[in-house]
């Protein structure tokens, strides 16, 4: 793709050649279809448009040093996609079909997988919507799954450089016993206002506090939160956050590297005791956080000296190394895509 400036790609939508689709109707999933259209024909009364029956996923394919294309942990995304669907009463897509669709959509768009060494990757976006025409508030009968791809660069403009975030007790993205653990559109709609407030004030993201007690850290917009203290990697245990696959992977790598992993409540008062803090996710990868401003108290917390901390760097390099095929994939996380 000679006309794409791979090194300066933002995190955004770039049209590609094909997407794949699968429809559930009459009580069964149909065949995987390949489409070259960027549009979805839909009835104006479709359930997703009125009552938000929509779930999505985000995973990535990487071009390795050896030229191979690897998709990272698609089985985990398949399982979470199913859980998200079940969480809002949608028909869950069988995990085998999810994986088949991911392999197909990547194989059909290999010319959009960014070259090794550019820092960019191919973002894979599966989504499911309820499509039955209805006005009553009840689960749809029919569903459509679409998976499209887009080459992307870093989610936070700073990339792997410390970013600035803010926190406030005045905004929640989810309810205590709500849908925070599911990756559904409604959670993101609910986060837009706080996100824009953070952006307008010059922060990359809002760091959410737990919605029940307002005492503990939850997560960072569209990424999980972590802190590092000595040799410990500490990340929130909470029912109102998305179980991040990146975070799960980092916990494993931290253990492999001899660190202690703690998944527990992180009280706000503990923040000042961390050596390093950061956000992690498929889009965010590992984004070091250099400053957290508390909008309610005016207090500012600073971390590091303007550069990513040593432990965050070590974990980042290990994770990227596995994704790019530079490090042995000891946990079997990558699926290599056969190129035609």
Residues that bind ligand COI (CB under 6 A): 58, 222, 281-283
Q: What angle do CA 74, 245, 334 make, to 5 degrees?
A: 40
Q: Measured from the CB atom, is 133 or 178 closer to ligand PLP? A: 178
Record the tokens describing residue 189, joined without a space.
């709609």
Report if residue 245 touches ligand PLP, rule: CB under 6 A: yes
Longest dimension (CA), the chain: 59
**Which is nearest to 165 in space by CA: 220, 106, 238?**
220
Separation of alpha carbons 141 and 24, rounded Å? 8
* One of 20, 22, 58, 311 touching ligand PLP (CB under 6 A): 58
Least distance CB 240 / ligand PLP (angstroms): 10
Q: How many residues does the chain have?
A: 340
Q: Which is nearer to ligand COI, 106 or 271 (CB)?
A: 106
Rounded to whole angstroms, how far apart are CA atoms 297 and 4?
A: 45
Q: How far is the CB of 4 from ligand COI (least distance, A)?
A: 20
Q: Say whether residue 186 binds ligand PLP (CB under 6 A).
A: no
Binding test (CB under 6 A) with ligand PLP, winner from 129, 222, 315, 335: 222
Query: Would you say 24 or 233 has its CB closer to ligand PLP?
Result: 233
State yes or no: is 183 an active-site residue.
yes
List the structure tokens of 231. 């040799």
Tell me which of 60, 164, 183, 318 is the catalytic residue.
183
Q: Which single residue is written with the structure tokens 């203290």?
A: 229
To ligand PLP, the closest distance from the beta carbon of 33 in angstroms equals: 26
Question: CA-to-CA distance for 327 and 153, rounded, in angstroms?
Answer: 22
Residues binding ligand PLP: number (CB under 6 A)? 12
CA-based nearest residue to 198, from 279, 303, 91, 309: 279
Catalytic positions, written as ranges? 183
Binding footprint of ligand PLP on the chain (CB under 6 A): 58, 219, 222-224, 242, 244-247, 281-282
């Amino acid at each position: 793709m000679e006309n794409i400036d791979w090194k300066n790609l933002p995190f955004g939508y770039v049209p590609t050649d094909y997407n794949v689709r699968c429809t559930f109707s009459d009580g069964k999933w149909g065949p995987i279809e390949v489409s070259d259209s960027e549009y979805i024909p839909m009835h104006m009364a479709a359930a997703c448009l009125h009552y938000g029956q929509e779930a999505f996923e985000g995973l990535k394919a990487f071009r390795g040093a050896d030229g191979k294309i690897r998709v990272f942990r698609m089985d985990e995304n398949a399982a979470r996609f199913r859980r998200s669907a079940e969480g809002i009463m949608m028909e869950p897509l069988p995990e085998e079909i999810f994986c088949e669709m991911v392999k197909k959509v990547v194989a059909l768009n290999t010319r959009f997988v960014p070259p090794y060494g550019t820092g960019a990757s191919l973002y894979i976006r599966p989504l499911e919507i309820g499509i039955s025409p209805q006005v009553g508030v009840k689960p749809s009968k029919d569903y459509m799954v679409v998976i499209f791809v887009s080459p992307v660069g870093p989610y936070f403009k700073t990339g792997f450089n410390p970013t600035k975030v803010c926190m406030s007790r005045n905004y929640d993205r989810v309810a205590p016993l709500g849908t925070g653990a599911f990756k559904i559109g409604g959670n993101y709609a609910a986060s837009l206002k706080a996100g824009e407030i953070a952006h307008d004030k010059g922060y990359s993201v809002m760091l959410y506090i737990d919605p029940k007690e307002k005492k503990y850290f939850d997560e960072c917009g569209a990424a999980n939160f972590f802190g590092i203290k000595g040799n410990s990697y500490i990340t929130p245990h909470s029912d109102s956050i998305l179980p991040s696959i990146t975070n799960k992977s980092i916990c494993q790598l931290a253990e492999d590297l001899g660190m202690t992993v703690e998944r527990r409540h992180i009280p706000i008062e503990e923040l000042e005791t961390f050596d390093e803090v950061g956000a992690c996710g498929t889009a965010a990868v590992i984004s070091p956080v250099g400053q957290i401003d508390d909008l309610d108290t005016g207090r500012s917390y600073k971390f590091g000296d303007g550069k990513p901390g040593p432990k965050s760097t070590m974990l980042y390099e290990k994770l990227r190394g596995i994704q790019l095929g530079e490090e042995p994939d000891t946990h079997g996380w990558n699926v290599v895509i056969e190129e035609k």
